[in-house]
A and B are shown apart, each in its own frame.
Chain A
Amino acid sequence: MSSVMTTVTNFFTTTDPLFLWLSGGALGLLVVATLIGAVLAYRVRTPAGRDTVRNLNARIRSWWVMVALFAAAMLLGSVVTLVLFALLSYLALREFITLTPTRRGDHAGLFLSFFVVVPLQYWLVGTGWYGLFSIFIPVYVFMALPSLSVLGADTTDFLTRTAKAQWGVMLAVYCTSHAPALLWLDIPGYSLPGALLLLYLMTVAQLSDVFQYVFGKLWGKTRLSPGISPSKTVEGLVGGGLSAIAIGTGLHVITPFSPLQAAGMSLVIVTAGFFGGFVLSAMKRDLGVKDWGTMIEGHGGVLDRLDSVVFSAPLFFHLTRYWFT
């Protein structure tokens, strides 16, 4: 216990006051949001209103998870963050493959995807071996999966099966692994912990989701594509996106970016996050389901909560790496 206390004490005495203010602010915001959600859940009467509040509360709960992940990253170190993200990748891949038709011939390749590709990709992140980290899945796994499947000598839906397995690994493992990889970026002149970049990505992506939802509910009229995602509206996208970019610009103090650069980065995160959610919704429609899973009872699966981060993480990582390291 005393070592935990020492860690906590050291954390508060050695950490930048700016960072403490920010974490305090984030925590306060979450508590307020949770209280509002609880009051709304108690007061709302109509079925449609109840659905909206339930959805909002699910999003607030996923914030808490994000904050908990981030706190674990700060207090327990980067290896814990890596293990947590590896677990998220594993669970997301499990959701994806569960909904994907597979045949006997795919079995060996899928086994490798779960028990070799996931640990290896995160090990590559942890060793900082950028060269292999960035091509391991798009090159080696890309070829290994169909090579293993073809040994099953079963041509039924071969292209479809292969493509779906490759997509699963790309989304759940490759794209997701770029979020914790931010902790290993070595940025000259940037003295704050790398976990703050991860916090920045998560905050902008999640706030963008929530603001788009809230703006859409309040002022949304023009539906973007009712056949794919009925809750997405033009008003929500513009209002929510701009709000998230404004906050992302304000948060430039925890990044190596200037305010203008931070605005550009936020624009990238918001745009990629929007398309991530949109593309994954289209896939769900194609597969005939509403949610990727039931991990969080009634609130969908891991992929439902990660969809915006899945697309924005690799872009944010590569832009930051290219221009700031």
Chain B
Amino acid sequence: MIPLLQPALRHGLLGLTRLLVGARASWEGSAPADVPRIYFANHTSHLDTLAVMAALPPALRARTHPVAALDYWGGSALRRLVAVGCLNALLVDRTGKATAEVMDAMAAVLESGQSLILFPEGTRGDGTVAPFKSGLYHLAQRVPAAELVPVSIENLHRVMPKGMPLLVPLICTMRFGAPLDVVEDEDKAAFLERARDALVSLSRPQTQSGTQPDSQSDSKSTGQRTAR
């Protein structure tokens, strides 16, 4: 393997992602920190993983592993190079045949002090957030020390709607919310519902994703903001 290939490819991919979708990070409720975390995000397009990785500060990015499907990303040498070599992905079998091994591998990453990115919906949505699969619950039970940070990916479903091969560049914001509280003896359904609510409440109405008004001169005395 050519030694500089992976970093060059990584920078190229992340740079291209920023040129296409901006990938701006907005830390609302949590701050960037090098502690074991499970970033759980809404699944909106093929670019989700790249966009979240591009939004993370470089020091954290190096210690964060997106969880990706083995059947697709392990399918060829090139895909494996992109997923594992460039993006530190943890490839997992999602057929359900090796649930225990998958859980062990994810727990091992967190126990080593590093972080994971998960998409608990399991499937791509169209702007709404689908019910969560139970993996997030089992992982949280297994490694209670890991922080559960919701990440709302905004606008990305407009960039590449399901079934559209073409891509329209739009500025996408990743909103990093407050870590979920730890609740003793919570059952699975209640936990998954609470996690999903945390993600949903982070998102803002689409097409109004610009900077919210603050104290700068232009924001005073508007009085006629239109609500859509």
CB–CB B169/A290 < 8 A: no
Tell me which residues across on chain B come within 8 A of A97, comparing CB atoms.
Answer: 168-170
**Known A107-B164, A294-B211: A94·B169 in contact at CB below 8 Å:** yes
User: Is B63 located at the chain interface by the 8 A CB criterion?
Assistant: no
Please give the distance in Å from B210's CB to the nearest CB on chain A.
3
Chain A contributes a number of interface residues (CB within 8 A of B) equal to 38
Nearest-neighbour CB distance to chain B for A117, whole angstroms, equals 13
Q: Is B76 an interface residue (CB 8 A)?
A: no
Within 8 A of B (CB), among A83-103: 90, 94-95, 97-102
Bound-state CA distance A287–B224 (Å) is 11
- Asked if B105 lies at the interface with its beta carbon under 8 angstroms from chain A, I say no
B222–A55 touching, CB < 8 Å: no
Contacts of B167 in A (CB 8 A): 111
A26-53 vs B, CB cutoff 8 Å, 1 = contact: the mask equals: 0000000000000000000001000110
| Contact indicator B166/A52 (Cβ below 8 Å) | no
- Residue of B whose beta carbon sits closest to that of A106: B168
The answer on a CB contact under 8 Å between B207 and A99 is yes
Closest A residue, CB atoms, query B163: A104
Question: Once the chains are docked, how many angstroms separate the CA of A285 from the CA of B224?
Answer: 7
Residues of A within 8 A of B170 (CB): 94, 97-98
Q: Is the CB of B209 within 8 A of A227?
A: no
Residues 279-291 of chain A, each 1 if its beta carbon lies under 8 Å from chain B, else 0: 0010011111111
Q: Check if A101 sits within 8 Å of B228, measured CB to CB.
A: yes
For the complex, is A188 an interface residue (Cβ under 8 Å from B)? no
Inter-chain contact A107/B218, CB cutoff 8 Å: no
B220 and A230 contacting across the interface, CB-CB below 8 Å: yes
| Distance A207 CA – B18 CA, assembled complex (angstroms) | 31
Q: Which residues of A contact B220 (CB under 8 A)?
A: 230
A172 CB, nearest partner CB in chain B, Å: 12
Q: Separation in Å of the A6 CB from the closest CB of chain B?
A: 30
Quote the shortest CB–CB distance from B225 to chain A (angstroms): 5
Q: With A and B bound together, what is the CA distance between A65 and B214 in angstroms?
A: 25
| A288–B161 CA distance with the chains assembled, in angstroms | 24
CA of A293 to CA of B206, assembled, Å: 14
A110 on the interface (CB 8 Å rule)? yes
Give the residue name and chain of the B residue nearest to A111 (CB): B166
CB distance from B25 to the nearest CB of A (A): 11
Cα–Cα, bound, A252→B211 (Å): 40
Least CB separation from A299: chain B residue: B216
Interface centre among B166, B212, B221, by most chain A C-beta atoms within 10 angstroms, is B166
The 0/1 profile, CB within 8 Å of B marked 1, for residues 170-207 of chain A is 00000000000000000000000000000000000000
Contact B168 A288 (CB under 8 A): no
Chain B residues lying within 8 Å of A99, measured Cβ to Cβ, are: 207-210
**A215-241 vs B, Cβ < 8 Å mask (1 yes, 0 no):** 000000000001101110000000000
B173 to chain A, nearest CB (A): 8
Contact B208 A288 (CB under 8 A): yes
Q: Are A290 and B228 in contact (CB under 8 A)?
A: no
Question: Judging by beta carbons under 8 Å apart, are A107 and B207 in contact?
Answer: no
Across the interface, name the chain B residue whose C-beta is closest to A288: B225
Give A301 Cβ to nearest chain B Cβ, in Å. 8
For the complex formed, measure the closest distance between the CB of A216 and the CB atoms of chain B, giving whole angstroms. 10
* A290 CA to B161 CA, complexed, in Å: 27
CB-nearest residue of chain B to A226: B221
- Judge if A19 is at the interface, Cβ distance under 8 Å: no
Q: How far is the CB of A2 from chain B (nearest CB, A)?
A: 26
Set of chain A residues within 8 Å of B61, measured between Cβ atoms: none
9 nearest A-B pairs in the assembled complex, by CB-CB distance? A289-B210, A111-B166, A110-B168, A98-B171, A101-B207, A98-B170, A231-B217, A94-B169, A288-B225
> Which residues of B come within 8 Å of A, CB atoms?
22, 24, 155, 158, 161, 164, 166-171, 206-228
